[in-house]
Amino acid sequence: MYQKTKIAQEIDWFTVIIFLIMVGFGAMNIYAAVYNPDASYSLSHMLLKTNGGKQLVWIAAALVIATVIVLLDMRFFSSFTWGIYGITMLLLVAVLIFGREIAGSKSWFDLGFIRFQPAELAKFAAALGVARYLSRAQVDVSRYKNLGVLIAIIGLPVFLTMLQGDTGSALVFSAFFVVFYREGMPAWIMVVGLSIIALLVTTLIMLNDLWALLFGIIFWGGVAVLAIQFIDFFKRKKEDRPKYFIFTLCLLLNASFLTMSYWLPLLEYDFEETLKVSLLSVSEAKHNLLLLVAAGGVWLVLSWGIRFLSDKKYHWTAFVGTIVIATILCVAALDYFIKDILKEYQRNRLELLVDPTKDPRGIGFQVGHSINAIGSGGLWGKGFLEGTHTKLNYVPDQSTDFIFCTVGEEHGWAGSLFVLLLFLLLFLRLIHLAERQKSRFSRVYGYCVVAILFFHFLVNIGMTVGLFPVIGIPLPFFSYGGSSLWSFTVLLFVMIKLDIHRKQEIVLAG
């Protein structure tokens, strides 16, 4: 039942104060990032022409947006969820036609006084959509039908954002799977997802030795299967061994296919030449992948056949065989994606992730100077407006994607720790707000906000210190930009608005 609530008494001022500190400290560092001690600006020029001045204008507008959101009826966002979602998807389509291409990404509307990126608004729309769908009666995330609908809700903006060439913004939507898990998604999906991520990282590291990785996967997977089954054979009771002996013979046949997949590529080479190279890195021909998949396919068929012909309880071969084939396909797909789909600058960023020191005068220039800038700050920093890397423009995009460099250089380890603690307090507070909601719509939306902000925080700071590739996403409430600041403000203050009415249930139709 909806009831009027006294806003001043119920609003979570702790979160509001954290927000104000963040945008204030962010504006100070943006000013420092573009500060020119030799320039003399009028007040109007500073506000309209410099990043530091314009950010103050964006902050003032953000405060107006926050105030309007707090004064709106709490039912507005749940009632108009699909309208907001639909309009946002239309904007994502429109930017493909009328948008302006910047840095290889056609994802911006150029309005003259500001550039607006609809992908930022899409995160908010997707959060509303996920919360709205999950708040329906009898929606169980553990059911694959319902999970499919949720994936479709976030998948549409991902697809449209990828068409724009904005891979960084598209990756943010992967954070929603944390929300799905919180609401009941089967744990094995998270395990598989995290395993795939680990596999992708491994593949990136071994990209130049891809065939060694593929051969290693199928060979050592087979070794693991045989070892497990033989150990299990000797643990069986005597009366069960005749039946299991047939199973073991099938395993030996299975092992022969593994051996063929491992040694067959060697036959293409002269014997003396073969001796000069490693057994796990002899093939670079793409058709050898077909050999691997063919041999693995036979392995998979045998594995599942053996399971049903012998003893269904003992299905290690089928289990491991399935994992190995899926792994091979994932590695091959990533190889194709990196070499044939990604643009050159995107491939360079991935290579830089594996080796941050690569090409320090080329693709590694940005990350190298970012790390140097942060490290040069020491314990207490060089002081406000005293950053030498900042003044000499060593780090491109320092007021946007690399704003954390300014914090590290001018405020040192202490200032960096202060920023990290601010985000930690914000995340913990938002989780607390989400958990105390009576309405499922409000709780799910709260977790969506946490997931989106945390992804931005983790990747942005990670890429400034060389732990993540440079994918061009802003640091919430710190990076320069009107559309990003406003989208984060909307995300946060809608949650604050919902929390004001936390004791009330939002009744939704349908």
Average pLDDT of span 482-499: 92
Q: What angle do CA 127, 461, 105 make, to 5 degrees?
A: 65
| 107, 165 contact by CB (below 8 A) | yes
Q: How confident is the model at residue 140, as a pLDDT?
A: 84
Q: How confident is the model at residue 272, as a pLDDT?
A: 41
Higher per-residue confidence, 204 vs 503: 503
| 335, 207 contact by CB (below 8 A) | yes
- Percent of the chain scored above 90 by pLDDT? 24
Separation CA 116–CA 99 (nearest Å): 10
Separation CA 106–CA 95 (nearest Å): 7
**Element spanning 108, H or E:** strand 105-110
Confidence of residue 374 (pLDDT cuts 50, 70, 90): confident
Lowest mean pLDDT among 57-61, 191-195, 288-292, 316-320: 288-292
Q: How confident is the model at residue 380, as a pLDDT?
A: 84
Higher per-residue confidence, 346 vs 69: 69
Tokens standing for 79? 């009632």
| 407, 422 contact by CB (below 8 A) | no
Closest CA to 398 of 374, 363, 424, 419: 374
Confidence of residue 278 (pLDDT cuts 50, 70, 90): very low
Separation CA 157–CA 115 (nearest Å): 19
Closest CA to 60 of 109, 27, 33: 27
Check pLDDT > 90 for residue 66: yes
Which CA distances in Å does 130 have to 152, 211, 504?
10, 41, 20
Q: How confident is the model at residue 136, as a pLDDT?
A: 82
The phi, psi pair for 105, rounded to 5°, reads: -125, 120
- Which amino acid is residue 345, in one-letter code? Y
| 439, 505 contact by CB (below 8 A) | yes
Which span out of 16-20, 342-346, 476-480 was modeled with the highest average pLDDT? 16-20
Q: How confident is the model at residue 276, as a pLDDT?
A: 40
User: Can you give the pTM of this predicted structure?
Assistant: 0.77
Check pLDDT > 90 for residue 495: yes
For residue range 402-451, what is the model confidence (pLDDT) as tens digits? Answer: 888 888 888 888 888 999 999 999 999 999 999 998 888 999 999 999 99
Phi-psi region of 184 (alpha: psi -120 to 50; beta: other; left: phi over 0): left
Lowest mean pLDDT among 55-64, 199-208, 452-461: 199-208
| 160, 121 contact by CB (below 8 A) | no
Check pLDDT > 60 for residue 78: yes
Higher per-residue confidence, 155 vs 234: 155
The phi, psi pair for 55, rounded to 5°, reads: -65, -35
Over the chain, what is the mean pLDDT?
75
**305 forms bridges with which residues in the sheet?**
none
Tokens standing for 379? 């314990």
**Cα torsion 271, 273, 276, 280: sign:** negative
Q: What angle do CA 129, 491, 447 make, to 5 degrees?
A: 65
Q: How confident is the model at residue 422, as a pLDDT?
A: 93
Closest CA to 354 of 367, 343, 342: 367
**Element spanning 162, H or E:** helix 144-163
Question: What is 127-145 written as a DSSP string?
Answer: HHHHHHHHTSTT--TTSHH
